[in-house]
A and B are shown apart, each in its own frame.
Chain A
Amino acid sequence: ETGVTQTPRHLVMGMTNKKSLKCEQHLGHNAMYWYKQSAKKPLELMFVYNFKEQTENNSVPSRFSPECPNSSHLFLHLHTLQPEDSALYLCASSQAGGRDEAFFGQGTRLTVV
């Protein structure tokens, strides 16, 4: 148990569906992250929130929409995805971005059909 919980663990969705990924941390951290992990590619940083404010949007397509209602919760809203968006989506949190360890959730395995 890493202290960062992601739901669901697995998700299959059609290209016209709308779904959301959820991430929750109760470690008292103030920074939260979404990463995309695809086979044979580096982990791609998608979004960063620090004290609920988005501080990084790494040129992510608008079909991915993050939401951070408070410092413990982070969502990734998905709509009209493409098959190439199939990947493992990892959420992480840290105390103060940069110097401190990031704690990762177990990820959501997303398959777009």
Chain B
Amino acid sequence: AQSVTQLDSQVPVFEEAPVELRCNYSSSVSVYLFWYVQYPNQGLQLLLKYLSGSTLVKGINGFEAEFNKSQTSFHLRKPSVHISDTAEYFCAVSDGTDKLIFGTGTRLQVFP
């Protein structure tokens, strides 16, 4: 069975600073990895996904993530954050079946 661990429940950062949100997964099979963002009172929206190929994946809003198979990690990064990036970020894993398993989420708070 797959599982996802998001190590940080909250990440405070100042505007224009870089940020990294950490995600580790466990699975006995090959996985597909996703990052979603949830703004207040909204559903989840896909930021990016890794299916295969290049381990560096670029997504929307300037975010990128790197798949590291040996460390079973899929950390999300942005070189310079904006106030509008304040939201909840969820890492998720799928083994190719219908089950998409999410982590507990990381609250990114960007301060001016």
A residues apposed to B, CB below 8 Å: 2, 4, 6, 31, 33, 35, 40-43, 45, 48, 50, 55-56, 90, 92, 97-99, 101-102, 104-107
Contacts and interface: CB of A to CB of B under 8 A. Distances in A.
Given A31-B98, A107-B42, 9 more contacts: A41-B104, A50-B98, A92-B43, A97-B97, A97-B98, A97-B99, A98-B96, A104-B36, A105-B43
Contacts, number: 65
Contact of A2 (B32, B43, B101): B43
25 contacts: A31-B98, A33-B100, A42-B4, A42-B102, A42-B104, A42-B105, A43-B102, A45-B99, A50-B98, A56-B98, A92-B43, A92-B44, A97-B94, A97-B99, A97-B100, A98-B95, A98-B97, A98-B99, A99-B32, A99-B51, A102-B46, A106-B42, A106-B43, A107-B42, A107-B43
Interface residues of B, number: 26
